[in-house]
Chain A
Amino acid sequence: MQDWKILSRITFSSTIILNMSMFLYLIKKIFTLGSTFLGITLISFMVMHLAPGEPMSLQTDFNPKMTPEMRERLRAQYGLDRPLHIQYLQWLKGLAVLDLGLSFSPDRRPVWDKIKERLPVTLLINILAIGLILVIAVPLGVAAAVHHNSIFDQITTVLVFVAYAAPAFWVALLLMLYFGIYLGWLPISGLHSLMGYTQMSGWEKLLDWCRHLILPVLVSALGGLAGLSRYTRSSMLEVLRQDYITTARAKGLPEKKVIYKHALRNALLPIITILGLSIPGLIGGSVIFESIFAIPGVGQLMWTGVMARDYPLLMGNLVIVSVLTLLGNQLADIGYALADPRIRAGVKTKD
């Protein structure tokens, strides 16, 4: 009976202590995230005001129908007549409610709407790309590490270097040329076929989407594939050098168990962080393959915005994408904390 009471008391107090340290940790995290977010908005805002002349001038200067009064009214409407820091605060207030202003392009639609409808596409392709990278790069890296310095290792190293150096848009063009035009197997633009799409059954639609997505996902995954497989290899090599691996082998464990049960688990941990760090690269790469394959995502939106000097759109897009990256990194951190039992137990690992 008494044991039960002692146990419950220990559980209670340890829960409180754990929760308090969790609480402090969360507070610190929120502060870090908040200041990073503010920094992102500040830089985006500054970038947009780099232009000599005013953001509106492209629309107003060469328009013969634009009178000085109209120009002043437009300025007031966009809040450009107020000092810079006030403009920044106005914009921040809008950001909080996801009001990113109206696009400068002729359709005058809200920026957030434009981004919202294209974001899922980009996210879909990038998530699929991450999946593809994991599925290919990790086994490749592990195999290369396990068969260190063999022919396989050397060939994969060279291939990885080549993949790393190849410009993504060139590979996209070659793939389009070969699979799309020469062999005619895969479509080269858009998300789904234009003709006869509505008549397709559910399964056929899915297949159609898959056929259209193969090339973009492949191109998106290419650079990350090379980097991650190399990193997996070196991480695995590092782990295999450790004493506990030698111990496991000395204990007589079968080699497969040593590799998969002991070495791999430890080698995989930093990979989560690396994945998180490669998110901005993946999203940035979206610009290229979305332009080439005519995919309506945020990358293509950025490009058309640049071409049209659509200042609210560019600012909004920049912030949204960076915030997504920030969230992605946090997810990776949380994933790492969950996966590493040392962190879960509260052992202080080096920062």
Chain B
Amino acid sequence: MKAANHQITWLGQLGNNPLAVAGLLIVGLLCIVALSAPWLAPYDPHAIDTWHILESPSRAHLLGTDLLGRDCLSRLIYGARISLLVGIVAVGIATVIGTILGSLAGFYGTWIDGLIMRLVDIILCFPTIFLVMAVIAFLEPSILNIMVVIGLTSWMGVARLVRAEFLSLKQRDFVMAARISGASNARIAFSHILPNAVAPILVATTLGVGGAILTESALSFLGIGVQPPTPSWGNMLTEGKDNLEIAWWLSMFPGLAILVTVLGYNLLGEGLRDALDPRIRDSEGKS
């Protein structure tokens, strides 16, 4: 009953925020585009057409063609798949690691907490791109490796959030009640404390997808991310850089796509944060 009330309230709150709704629409649109790529794209993204090299946007090719005559619009649409895939999987990995480590640190405290927080501080000293570049230099720059590495370097934020939730909720009455009724540590952690942490985790995850997409496109741009011919918005921009003076459309559209996508996720994430936070405080007050 209470959960049902919750859902209607925060969703309604989200609906009142026009920026958040815009974010939601953008994200939704992106998902639709990515899923329907084979039907949506006018051309095959790998189809080389040497008769139509570097054509500016026209009726036949709405966003122009690239150095090998491939249609930019189709490549852009297929690129959405890559960005979405990498973003979601990388953040998924980061969330899982962060939640586990954060809950361990917050729940047990003492040296486990100290150790995990020290690890967080250490990893935060590395500029992410440097670390990711160094790792990918030694593994193959495949999509799987990129996802794993980005996930391994972005779990720290989630860990801190989860730890904070655990630290603050550990002392609460409902936890003591659960302990008295004989619940094991694992059960207390998972069934009682963790559900309260879902809200900030959700916010961090949404915002994290935007960050992951930016990182992946930066890597692809530098040549150590998604390798051509697989279209990724980042490696499309590499080609754009090489042909900057003669083909502005190669640089304009992929970047615009990244901008709109990350913007969408950020708006949605911020909207979720505004919608969920006071709700949580209210619910804790009542419980």
Contact = CB atoms under 8 A, between A and B. Distances in A.
Interface of A: 35-36, 39-40, 43-44, 47-48, 50-51, 158, 161-162, 164-171, 173-174, 176-177, 181, 277, 280-281, 283-285, 287-288, 291-292, 302-303, 305-307, 309, 314-315, 317-318, 321-323, 325-326, 329
- Which of B126, B127, B266, B270 counts the most A-chain CB atoms under 10 A from its CB? B127
The 6 A-B residue pairs with the shortest CB-CB distance in the complex, in nearest-first order: A170-B255, A284-B127, A51-B138, A39-B122, A165-B262, A165-B263
B196 interface: no
Interface in B122-145: 122-131, 133-139
Interface in B209-226: 210, 214, 217-218, 221-224
Given A43-B123, A48-B138, A167-B221, 4 more contacts: A165-B214, A281-B127, A291-B222, A314-B134
A177 B244 contact: yes
A99 B86 CA distance: 38
Contact of B119 (A39, A48, A287): A39
A280 B128 contact: yes
Given A164-B266, A181-B244, A284-B128, A36 B210 contact: no
Given A40-B125, A161-B263, A326-B125, A176 B244 contact: yes
B241 interface: yes
- Which of B124, B129, B260 counts the most A-chain CB atoms under 10 A from its CB? B129
18 contacts: A43-B122, A48-B134, A50-B135, A164-B266, A165-B261, A167-B259, A169-B241, A170-B259, A171-B255, A181-B245, A284-B128, A287-B222, A288-B129, A302-B130, A318-B134, A322-B126, A322-B127, A322-B130
Contact of B125 (A171, A181, A280, A292): A280
B244 A169 contact: no
Contacts of B133: 287, 302-303, 306
Nearest to B261: A165
B118 interface: yes
B131 A51 contact: no
Contacts of B136: 306
Given A161-B267, A174-B255, A329-B125, A306 B134 contact: yes
B103 interface: no
A281 B126 CA distance: 9
Given A283-B127, A318-B126, A306 B137 contact: yes
A32 B222 CA distance: 35
Interface residues of B, number: 48
Q: What DSSP secondary structure best describes chain B's contact surface?
A: helix
A177 B248 contact: yes
B200 interface: no
Interface in B30-45: none
A280 B127 contact: yes
Contacts of A173: 237, 240-241, 244, 251, 255
A167 B251 CA distance: 12
Nearest to B214: A167
Given A48-B138, A283-B127, A325-B127, A165 B251 contact: no
B258 interface: yes
Contacts of A169: 218, 221, 237, 241
Contact of B137 (A35, A288, A314): A314
Nearest to B127: A284
Interface in B236-258: 237, 240-241, 244-245, 248, 251-252, 254-255, 258
- Which of B123, B125, B254 counts the most A-chain CB atoms under 10 A from its CB? B125
Interface of B: 19, 118-119, 121-131, 133-139, 210, 214, 217-218, 221-224, 237, 240-241, 244-245, 248, 251-252, 254-255, 258-263, 266-267, 270
A307 B92 CA distance: 29
A305 to B, nearest CB: 8
A173 to B, nearest CB: 5
Given A170-B255, A174-B255, A177-B244, A284 B125 contact: no
B126 A40 contact: yes
Given A165-B263, A170-B251, A318-B130, A50 B139 contact: yes
A294 B217 CA distance: 20
A167 B252 CA distance: 12
Contacts of B241: 169, 173, 292
A219 to B, nearest CB: 12
Contacts of B258: 165-167, 170
A318 B240 CA distance: 29
A283 B125 CA distance: 11
A321 B255 contact: no
Contacts of A284: 127-130
A348 B46 CA distance: 63
A298 to B, nearest CB: 9
Contacts of B262: 164-167
A277 B222 CA distance: 25
A47 B127 contact: no
A39 B118 contact: yes
B118 A288 contact: no
Contacts of B134: 44, 47-48, 302, 306, 314-315, 318
A164 B270 CA distance: 13
A167 B218 contact: yes
